[in-house]
Structure 1
Amino acid sequence: MSSPNATVAAPAGIAQILTEAPEAAAARLSGRLAAQAAATDQEGNFPTEEFQWLRAAGLLAAPLARSLGGADLMQPAHTLDLLRTLKHIGRGNLAVGRVYEGHANALMLLQLYGQPDQIGRWAADAREGHLFGVWNTEAQDGVQLEPLENGRYRLLGSKTFGSGAGHLTRPLITGKLPDGGWQMFILPTDEQPTGLDTSFWRPLGMRATASFRVDLTNAEIGPEDLLGQPGDYYHQPGFSGGAIRFAAVQLGAAEAVFDETRRFLRALGRTDDPYQRMRLGELAVLIESGNLWLRGAAEHAARPATDAEATVAYANLMRTAIEDICLKVLPLAERCVGARGLLRPEPFERLHRDLTHYLRQPAPDAAVADAGRFVLQHSEPAHSLWNA
C-alpha cells in the first residue's frame, strides 16, 4: 500500500467551455481515444492524457446545468445526448468511458442533493477540470464517519473498486454514520490523505481504470462536504435507473468490436465470403438493436408522467438487453477474425478483455427478475405497458 499521506495533485489549467455539442465532441475524440488505448492498457495505469483531451473539449463540465456552465446533459430531456456521448467515449476506450460515466454520475447526484452554495462550489471545480467519480463499493473494512468535537468528521475504513484512485480529485463517497445512516460526501483528495492499495487491482480487463482499494483512514471532512441526507444515495429511480448510462458505455465497446471486425476483414480481402457476410449481418442487427434500446431509454426518461418503479424496471430491461447484445457480439466477432485477429497488436484482445470485464455489473439476475416482477404486477397490454 502506498503511504497513507499520499495525495492527488489538483488538475493543471482550466477546463475549456464546450464549443460543440457533447455528442459531437465525444464522437470527434473517439478515434483519438482508440488510437491511444493500447498504450494505457497496463495494470496501475490511468488515461491521464485522454482526460486532458476531455477537459479541453469541455466534456468534464458538460453534465452540469447550463446555468452552471454545462450542457444540461443530466436533464431528462437530454438523456439521448448523454447516452450517445457515453457511447462514443466507450467506443474509443472503455476504461475512459467507465471513469467518465462515474464523473457524470457524481455531477448528477451533487446537483440533485446539494445545497446551492455546495453546487456552485463543486460546479466551479468541474469547470476548472477536477475529476469526480463515485466510490460506493466496500468490503469488511467499510468507511465510517466518526464525529469530532468541532463538528467535523474523521474517516475510518476503505473503499474497493475505487475507479480513478490517485487521479480523481473530487470522488463522491458513501460512508456509515454512528446511527447507521448511509451518508454521501465529496472528498477533496488533493487536500486530504488517502492510501492506495494497488495490489487489489489485478483484473482481466479494464486495467487502465486504476480501480484500487482506497484507505480513507484519518482523512477529515466538514459539514460542507456532506451531500444530501442519509439514505439519499439509494433513492429511486436515480440509483437503479442509472444503469442505462453504463449500458451505453458497454454498447460503445460493442460498436468498436463491430468496426474492428469490418476493418480486419476488409484488410484481408474477405468481404466476399458468404459466411462472413452472414456474421456481419447478424452483428449489424445486434448493434442497431442496442441503439434502439438507447433511444427507448431516452424516450422513457423524458416522459414526465413516468413513475420511479417503471423507470427502474425499464432501466433493468435495457441493461439486460445491452448485456445480451454484447455477449452475442463477442463470439460472432471471434469467428470472423479467427485466431489471427486475436493476436496483439490487433485491438480485439484488449477490447474483448475490457468488455467482458465491464459487463460484470452487480446483480444481473436480480435486475431482470425485478423487471419481471413489475410486468407481472401490471395488467396493461404489451403495447402500452411502458406508456401508462
Structure 2
Amino acid sequence: MKDDAALRIPLADGREDCRLLADLAAAAAVEDRGEASIAASVDRLRAAGWLGAGTPEPDGLFTRLVRLAEANLSLARLYEGHVNALRLARTLGDAEVWAETRALADGGALLGVWGADGATPLSIDGERLAGGKRFASGLGVVSHAVVTLGQGEAVRLALLDVSDPARHRPGSWRKTGMRATVSGDFDTGGMLASALRWVGGPGRYLEEPGFIGGTWRIAAVQLGGTLGLLRAAADELAALGRLEAEAQVARLSPVLTRALAAGAFVRRAARVAEGAAGQAEPERAAALSAQARLLTEEVGQDAIAAVERSVGLAHFDEEARTGQIARDLATYMRQAARDAFLQRAGRWCLTRDEPFSALLDDPDA
C-alpha cells in the first residue's frame, strides 16, 4: 500500500456541514421523482471539497457516509463508489494511474466502480472493447469508472472514461428504488482497448483487507439510510400528533436502539479494515466488515417493517418521504453474495481456537 498520509484530511464538521446535509436531504425527494437531477447535489459535494483525492480517516469517513446516507441515500451510494474508486487506484494502481486518478478527483470528477457485467461481459476483442456493464450507477455524472474485466482469480481492474452519453442506457434500470442514482447499462462496444488504464494485475481486486474488508462502507451507508428512514417516520408522526403514543414508541424505539448499537460495530470494523490490524490479519477485517454489513441489513429490514406499521397507509403514497427512503434502502441492501458473506464470516469466527470474548479485544491496543 502506498503511503497516503499526506492525502488524509479531517472531517469538516460544523454549521457548513449541517447546511449542506439539510440541502441534500431536501433535494432527495425531488431527485427521486425526477423533478431534478442528482447532478446538482453532486455539484454541492464538489463545491464542499468532498470529491478531492483526500479522504477522512476511518472514523471520519464512517461519520461522513452515515450522515450523507441519512440525508440522501442515492447520493451516498454514488459517493461511496467514488471513495472506493480512489482507494482502488491508490492501493492497487501504479504511480502513473494513481496520479491520473488523483488529478481527476482533485479536479472535481466523480468516480465510480462498476463491477456487474451486462448480457455480454466486458472484454477485449483485438484492439477494441466488447460488451458492457449493467447496474452502472451515476450515468452522466460519473466521468470515470473503475471497471472489472474477467471472472474469479483472473479478474482485473481498469480505469475507463465513461462520460460519453451515447453509450449510456439509463432506461434499463427498472427498479422501484434508487431511481435518482441514474443507473443503467453502459455499452463499451467499439471503444479502443487502449482507453483502459490498468489498476493492478489479475486477482489483485480480490485481495484482503480491501475487498470484503471494504464492505464496512456499505454497512455505514445502510446504517445511515436506516437512520434517515426512522427520522422521517418520527417527523411524519410528530406532525400528526402521534409520535408519543405508546404503540409508536414501542415500534420504533427498539429498532433505533439496535441501529445506534450497530453503529459502534461498523465503526470498529472500519478501524480494523483500515488499520494495522487489517494488514496483519486480513481475514479478521473481512469477517468483521461482512458481519457489519449483514447486521445493518437486518436492522434496516426491521426498520422498514416498523415504519410501515407506524405510518400506515400514508407510507405507501407515491410521494411519501418514508416510502421513498424505504424503497431506496430496500434496493440498496440487496447487494450480491449475501449468503457467501454470511458463511465466510461465520466460519472464521466459529472455528477460531479462542474464547469468543477475544473477538471483542482491540487488536491495535
Q: Same fold (TM over 0.5)?
A: yes
Give the distance between the partners of 2:125 and 2:319, measured in 1 at CA: 50
Partner residue, 2:174: 202
Equivalent of residue 113 in structure 1, options 87, 92, 100: 92
Checking the alignment, whether the CA contact within 8 Å between 1:43 and 1:201 is kept in structure 2 is no
Partner residue, 2:124: 145
Q: CA deviation at 1:133?
A: 0.3
Q: CA deviation at 1:298?
A: 2.7
Structure 1 stretches lacking a partner, 5+ long: 1-16, 65-69, 149-153
SS of the aligned residue for 2:116 comes to coil
1:185-211 per-residue CA deviation (whole Å, 9 max, x = no partner) reads 111234x68522233101110011121
Amino acid at match of 1:364: R
Amino acid at match of 2:149: G
Give the distance between the partners of 2:195 and 2:41, measured in 1 at CA: 34
Checking the alignment, whether the CA contact within 8 Å between 2:252 and 2:303 is kept in structure 1 is no
Amino acid at match of 2:162: T
Checking the alignment, whether the CA contact within 8 Å between 2:30 and 2:36 is kept in structure 1 is no
Q: CA deviation at 1:176?
A: 3.6
1:73-111 per-residue CA deviation (whole Å, 9 max, x = no partner) reads 3xxxx2121121111111111111111111110000000
CA RMSD of aligned residues (A): 2.5
SS of the aligned residue for 1:161 comes to strand
Structure 1 residue 29 corresponds to structure 2 residue 20: yes
Partner residue, 1:383: 357
Give the distance between the partners of 1:184 and 1:99, measured in 2 at CA: 19
Equivalent of residue 101 in structure 2, options 122, 125, 142: 122
1:5-29 per-residue CA deviation (whole Å, 9 max, x = no partner) reads xxxxxxxxxxxx9997246565542
Give the distance between the partners of 1:184 and 1:46, measured in 2 at CA: 29
Give the distance between the partners of 1:277 and 1:378, measured in 2 at CA: 40
Structure 1 residue 335 corresponds to structure 2 residue 292: no
* Equivalent runs, 1:183-202 vs 2, <5 Å: 183-190=156-163, 195-202=167-174
Q: Using structure 1 for the length normalisation, give the TM-score.
A: 0.84
Partner residue, 1:67: none
Give the distance between the partners of 2:178 and 2:12, measured in 1 at CA: 24
Amino acid at match of 1:134: V
Amino acid at match of 2:11: A
Question: Which range is displaced more, 46-55 or 291-300?
Answer: 291-300
1:202-236 per-residue CA deviation (whole Å, 9 max, x = no partner) reads 11100111211111011124387121112211222
Equivalent of residue 38 in structure 2, options 39, 47, 50: 47
Amino acid at match of 2:237: L
Partner residue, 2:260: 288
Amino acid at match of 1:184: L
Q: CA deviation at 1:289?
A: 1.7
Amino acid at match of 1:50: S
Give the distance between the partners of 2:277 and 2:43, measured in 1 at CA: 39
CA 1:260–1:305 in structure 2 vs 1: closer, same or farther (change >3 Å)? closer
Give the distance between the partners of 2:72 and 2:356, measured in 1 at CA: 37
Partner residue, 2:209: 237
Identity of aligned residues (%): 31
Q: CA deviation at 1:267?
A: 1.3
SS of the aligned residue for 1:187 comes to strand
Give the distance between the partners of 1:251 and 1:83, measured in 2 at CA: 10
Give the distance between the partners of 1:232 and 1:36, measured in 2 at CA: 38
CA 1:223–1:200 in structure 2 vs 1: closer, same or farther (change >3 Å)? closer
Amino acid at match of 2:159: I
Equivalent of residue 258 in structure 1, options 230, 234, 243: 230
Q: CA deviation at 1:252?
A: 0.9
CA 1:296–1:19 in structure 2 vs 1: closer, same or farther (change >3 Å)? closer
Question: Which range is displaced more, 44-53 or 31-40?
Answer: 44-53
Checking the alignment, whether the CA contact within 8 Å between 1:27 and 1:85 is kept in structure 2 is no
* Equivalent runs, 1:162-181 vs 2, <5 Å: 162-176=136-150, 181=154
Partner residue, 2:114: 135
Checking the alignment, whether the CA contact within 8 Å between 1:316 and 1:367 is kept in structure 2 is yes
CA 1:19–1:321 in structure 2 vs 1: closer, same or farther (change >3 Å)? closer
Checking the alignment, whether the CA contact within 8 Å between 2:226 and 2:300 is kept in structure 1 is yes
SS of the aligned residue for 1:260 comes to helix
Checking the alignment, whether the CA contact within 8 Å between 1:187 and 1:221 is kept in structure 2 is no
Partner residue, 2:3: none
